[in-house]
Amino acid sequence: MSLEAREFKQVVDEIIPLIGAANVWDYLPVMRWLDVSGVRSRILATVSRRDAFLHRLIDAERPRMDEGEKKSMIAVLLTLQKTEPELYTDQMIIALCAVIIVIGTETTSSTWAMSLLLNHPAALKKAQAEIDASIGTSRMVTADDVPRLSYLQCIINETLRLYPAAPLLLPHESSADCKVGGYEVPSGTMLIVNAYALHRDPAVWEDPTAFRPERFKDGKGDGLLLMPFGMGRRRCPGEALALQTVGVVLGTLVQCFDWDRVDGVEMDMTEGVGITMPKAVALEAVCRPRAAMRDVLQIKLLGISYVQ
């Protein structure tokens, strides 16, 4: 891992727990200015480090803008900065990058799919067989393949049902007085949707705590309340990118390696504390390159050469 990658990972690891940390001022707003627990100062320090890191990325991109290569997101934003400098300021570009890179990578990397598959080896073998039948063993899974892998899609849907990346969706505000479930909700009330509870509601889902990817087979899950990315026009704008990224990564891991639990012990599925609900116990597993994929892996696997 490069020094830049280490620095970025450290910043993300520090900032995510702070976003979901409980503060005294949540209950006593008057305490906001005192910062008794020191959360505010830690957030400001971490955000400052994050912004400095992203500013270096922007500065490094400026000289490459006119080299004719395929443009990065930062390069596109810097191009827009030339025509609308008052809108596309460096600070605005930093903010956009922070949302996409920091929040996007943390939620995607927190997916529980591999832990679930290791605890359900039959589902893992079924996903592997589907990839072999659809793609073969002469190349690795690509983004174009993911929509055609129906069982892999079922696994992703079932994973996000049981362990949504954000169990409590982003806060919304009621635009008018209304009555929901017998409760009066005044206009201007902050509303937080518990997607985790909705996804495990026995009135909607049969055997809601069980891992059953087949419940989404052939559109069976259509119309049920699955909302890991929210709903309507306020749903997460990164949904398509997240699903594509998870599909490619999970598909590649399943296709290229045989997986086993360490000493045969089941994965600990205890839920940690945080805004993205991380695992309390980090995933550890044994993987071996599949014999059928060895030639492909020897050429290249995610940019890292595999040596037999």
- What is the per-residue pLDDT across 58-116, written as a single tens digit (0 to 9) for each? 888 888 776 666 678 888 899 899 899 999 999 999 988 888 777 777 777 778 999 99
301 pLDDT higher than 60: no
Helix (H) or strand (E) holding 260: strand 257-261
Query: What three-state secondary structure class fits 300?
Result: coil
Domains and CATH numbers, the chain: 3-106 (no CATH), 112-299 (1.10.630.10)
- What band does 303 get if pLDDT is binned at 50, 70 and 90? low
Report how far residue 81's alpha carbon sits from residue 83's, in angstroms, rounded to the nearest whole number.
Answer: 5
Task: Look up residue 107 and give its two tokens.
Answer: 């939620």
Among 57, 15, 20, which residue's Cα sits nearest to residue 275? 20
- Region 190-203: mean pLDDT is 92
Residues forming a β-bridge with 304 = 301
Share of the chain above pLDDT 90, in %: 44
Report how far residue 118's alpha carbon sits from residue 155's, in angstroms, rounded to the nearest whole number.
Answer: 12
More confident residue, 217 or 31: 217
- Region 189-211: mean pLDDT is 93
User: Quick count: other Cβ atoms within 10 Å of Cβ 232?
Assistant: 7
- What band does 43 get if pLDDT is binned at 50, 70 and 90? confident
- Please say whether the dihedral angle defined by the alpha carbons of residues 105, 99, 89 and 71, taken in this order, is positive or negative: positive
Instruction: Say which residue the tokens 């073998």 belong to.
Output: 125
Phi, psi of 135 (to 5 degrees): -115, -30
- Region 33-46: mean pLDDT is 80
Burial class of residue 174 (count of CB atoms within 10 Å of its CB; 0-12, 13-18, 19+): middle
Share of the chain above pLDDT 70, in %: 94
What local confidence, expressed as pLDDT, does residue 116 receive? 96
Contacts of 297 (CB under 8 A, 6+ apart): 256, 289, 306
2 pLDDT higher than 50: yes
- What band does 306 get if pLDDT is binned at 50, 70 and 90? very low
Query: Residue 154, annotated ligand binder?
Result: no
Q: What is the largest CA-CA distance in the chain?
A: 66
Highest mean pLDDT among 63-67, 165-169, 208-212 belongs to: 208-212
Report how far residue 213's alpha carbon sits from residue 153's, in angstroms, rounded to the nearest whole number.
Answer: 9
DSSP codes joined into one string, 144-194: TTGGG-HHHHHHHHHHHHHS-SSSBPPPEE-SS-EEETTEEE-TT-EE--B
pTM: 0.81
